[in-house]
Amino acid sequence: IAPERFGGLSTNFGHTQIFSSAKIAKDIPEFQPKQNLVKSLKENIAWMDKHDRVHRNNDDDLEDRIVSAIEALPSCFESN
């Protein structure tokens, strides 16, 4: 990723981690994540919007396409 474009993301997502729970579920079948992926992503985007952390660039629709792709994720990702 080009640092001049996305350098600020390290402060936004410094502690955000996305991982597959498949390995832990194999060892600990009763493990249940407290947040689902889609809900977490939508909450992060909403927080960034509210706190004016989303760069506005009318000449480039990359961010809009990313948000649209997240919003279009199948509902199977929304269940816990």
More reliable by pLDDT, 5 or 26? 26
pLDDT by residue (tens digit) across 22-72?
Answer: 888 889 889 887 877 778 888 888 888 898 887 777 777 877 787 788 778
How far from chain centre, in Å, is Cα 67? 9
Give φ, ψ of 64 to 5 degrees.
Answer: -60, -40
Domain carrying residue 67: 3-77
pLDDT by residue (tens digit) across 13-23?
Answer: 555 566 677 88
How far from chain centre, in Å, is Cα 1? 16
For the chain, how many structural domains are there in total?
Answer: 1
**76 and 37 in contact (C-beta within 8 Å)?**
no
pTM, to two decimals: 0.45
User: How high is the pLDDT of residue 1?
Assistant: 47
CB atoms within 10 A of CB 13: 13
Q: What angle do CA 52, 77, 27 make, to 5 degrees?
A: 115
